[in-house]
Amino acid sequence: MKPGLLSTNEVSKMLKVNESTIKRWTDKGSLRCIKTPGGHRKYKMKDVVQFMDTFSYDVTDLLVPAKEQLSKVTVSTDYAILTKDYPVLSDIFFNTVLEGNRENTFQFLNFLYANRISQIEIYERILFPAFQKIGEQWIQKKIGIEQEHLASNTALHAIIKLQDQVHKKPKHGGIALCGCLEFEYHEIGITCVNNILEADGWTTYYLGTNLPKDSFIDAIENYLPNIVCVSTMTPRTQKQLIDDCAALHETTRIINGKLIVGGIASSSTLKKKISADCIPGSFSELMTFVNSLLIKK
Ligand code: B12
């Protein structure tokens, strides 16, 4: 190697990111490189330093002062935020949440939110893929069930704490009831739904997980919600889910509300069988549906 030229691997170590991230930044034209006749990328130290300088200079105005409080924020995190590089941010979240440090996890999410990554972007583009990866690693036996539990509880704590910082629209009078049916213990999705609706001006009642169908029906009759949101990931049987949703839908219809079912219900096979007013495939779809209800109101 020519003296003064760095390999992708060396630059990745300097900037504390994966080699693929360095390649992506190079391909975007943000980081200058020299291509060897063999097609390898090589970097001049002065270009790497210039990249870091330019970047730091650029972000001074954009990043909030709270940055100094977050020891783990590096130039690479800043750059990923600025360029909305969700895979990198999701990887950082994955590592942070698996460490199980609640405060660091909250600080990281808070830093993203303070730097204009929206609540829905945080949930769908950062948290969701990180937990998909946790699921994959659990299947491959790379992480244990105790780590999955720790990560879930750490994430839940962080998103609940972040909710205090999230900007909330004024209340518009709509009432939302959110929860999971009996034997359902996946809580992160429905917590996200509850938080998004609360930020959108809904008065929310959060029932949590593992609620028997009859108790869910009692809650609908007591709170008279305009919308009922149910999250389902692992129903005991498909038939049980179909029957329970039909019962919830009937009660919701009687009180003039709408039933929204998310999670596994949005899979192509189940979608046709489940009785509901809306089965959104994403939080954005959920918001389109609920906003259409508000327009009609
Ligand atoms: C964390 C986790 C757990 C934790 C949950 C802890 C907690 N407090 O929540 C624990 C360890 C308890 C757990 C247990 C189990 N789990 Co689990 N778990 C997961 C994991 C890794 C992440 C789920 C998660 O929270 N993701 C983050 C949230 C944001 O995403 P989400 O829930 O998918 O929600 C998204 C959408 O579905 C949608 N959505 C969800 N609900 C709603 C509701 C509405 C209204 C709307 C609009 C949208 C919406 O929006 C979200 C963003 O896109 C997934 C892996 C994966 N690939 O998803 C497996 C996974 C869901 N689990 C699975 C299984 C099989 C189980 C167990 C049966 C394992 C076992 N053998 O014991 C048990 C069942 C427990 C039960 N009865 O509920 C399977 C489900 C497979 C299936 N349905 O076909 C998965 C997919 C893993 C896998 N690949 O096998 N799990």
Determine the atom of ligand 1 nearest the C-alpha atom of 184. Answer: 78
Chain CA centroid to CA 210, Å: 22
CA-nearest residue, atom 5 of ligand 1: 186
Give me ligand 1 centre to Cα 186, in Å.
5
Residues of the chain with CATH 1.10.1240.10: 64-167
Using DSSP, state whether 122 is helix, strand or coil.
Answer: helix
Evaluate: CB of 179 within 6 angstroms of ligand 1: no
Least confident span in 25-34, 77-86, 207-216, 234-243? 77-86
CA-nearest residue, atom 54 of ligand 1: 135
Evaluate: CB of 130 within 6 angstroms of ligand 1: no
Evaluate: CB of 88 within 6 angstroms of ligand 1: no
Residues of the chain with CATH 3.40.50.280: 175-296
Give tens-digit pLDDT for 234-271. 999 999 999 999 999 999 999 999 999 999 999 999 99
Reference 188, options 147, 148, 223, 224; nearest CA is 148
The arrangement of strands across the sheet holding 34-35 comes to 5-7, 41-44, 34-35
Evaluate: CB of 231 within 6 angstroms of ligand 1: yes
Mean pLDDT in residue range 34-49: 84
Helix axes of 75-82 and 102-114: crossing angle, nearest 10 degrees: 40
Evaluate: CB of 183 within 6 angstroms of ligand 1: yes
Superfamily of chain region 175-296:
Cobalamin-binding domain (3.40.50.280)
Evaluate: CB of 144 within 6 angstroms of ligand 1: no
What's residue 61's pLDDT?
38
For the chain, what is the mean pLDDT?
A: 89
What's residue 279's pLDDT?
98
Give me ligand 1 centre to Cα 263, in Å.
8
Cα torsion angle, 175, 181, 182, 187, sign: negative
CA-nearest residue, atom 45 of ligand 1: 262
What's residue 281's pLDDT?
95
Sequential DSSP letters for 199-210: HTT-EEEEEEEE
Give tens-digit pLDDT for 105-161. 999 999 999 888 999 999 999 999 999 999 999 999 999 999 999 999 999 999 999
What's residue 69's pLDDT?
39
What's residue 68's pLDDT?
43
CA-nearest residue, atom 22 of ligand 1: 131
Least confident span in 49-63, 212-226, 256-270, 273-287? 49-63
Reference 127, options 100, 151, 99; nearest CA is 151
Q: Distance between CA atoms of 41 and 274, rounded to whole angstroms? A: 53
Evaluate: CB of 148 within 6 angstroms of ligand 1: yes
Give me ligand 1 centre to Cα 127, in Å.
12
**Does 65 score more than 90 pLDDT?**
no
What's residue 14's pLDDT?
73
For residues 280 and 286, the answer to whether their CB atoms sit within 8 Å is yes
CATH class belonging to 64-167: mainly alpha
Using DSSP, state whether 144 is helix, strand or coil.
Answer: coil
DSSP code of 68?
G
Cα torsion angle, 99, 104, 90, 44, sign: negative
Burial of 198 (0-12, 13-18, 19+ CB in 10 A): buried
For residues 227 and 176, the answer to whether their CB atoms sit within 8 Å is yes
Please give the residue that has the higher pLDDT: either 128 or 36.
128
Give tens-digit pLDDT for 68-120. 434 444 556 777 887 889 999 999 999 999 999 999 999 999 999 988 899 99
Please give the residue that has the higher pLDDT: either 229 or 24.
229
What's residue 66's pLDDT?
41
Give me ligand 1 centre to Cα 199, in Å.
23
Evaluate: CB of 262 within 6 angstroms of ligand 1: yes
Determine the atom of ligand 1 nearest the C-alpha atom of 156. Answer: 8
Q: Does the domain formed by 1-61 have CATH 3.40.47.10? A: no
Least confident span in 47-51, 171-175, 227-231, 290-294? 47-51
For residues 229 and 190, the answer to whether their CB atoms sit within 8 Å is yes
**Does 63 score more than 50 pLDDT?**
no
CA-nearest residue, atom 56 of ligand 1: 132
**Does 57 score more than 50 pLDDT?**
no
The arrangement of strands across the sheet holding 258-263 comes to 203-211, 175-181, 227-232, 258-263
What's residue 180's pLDDT?
98
Residues of the chain with CATH 1.10.1660.10: 1-61
What's residue 211's pLDDT?
97
Burial of 24 (0-12, 13-18, 19+ CB in 10 A): middle
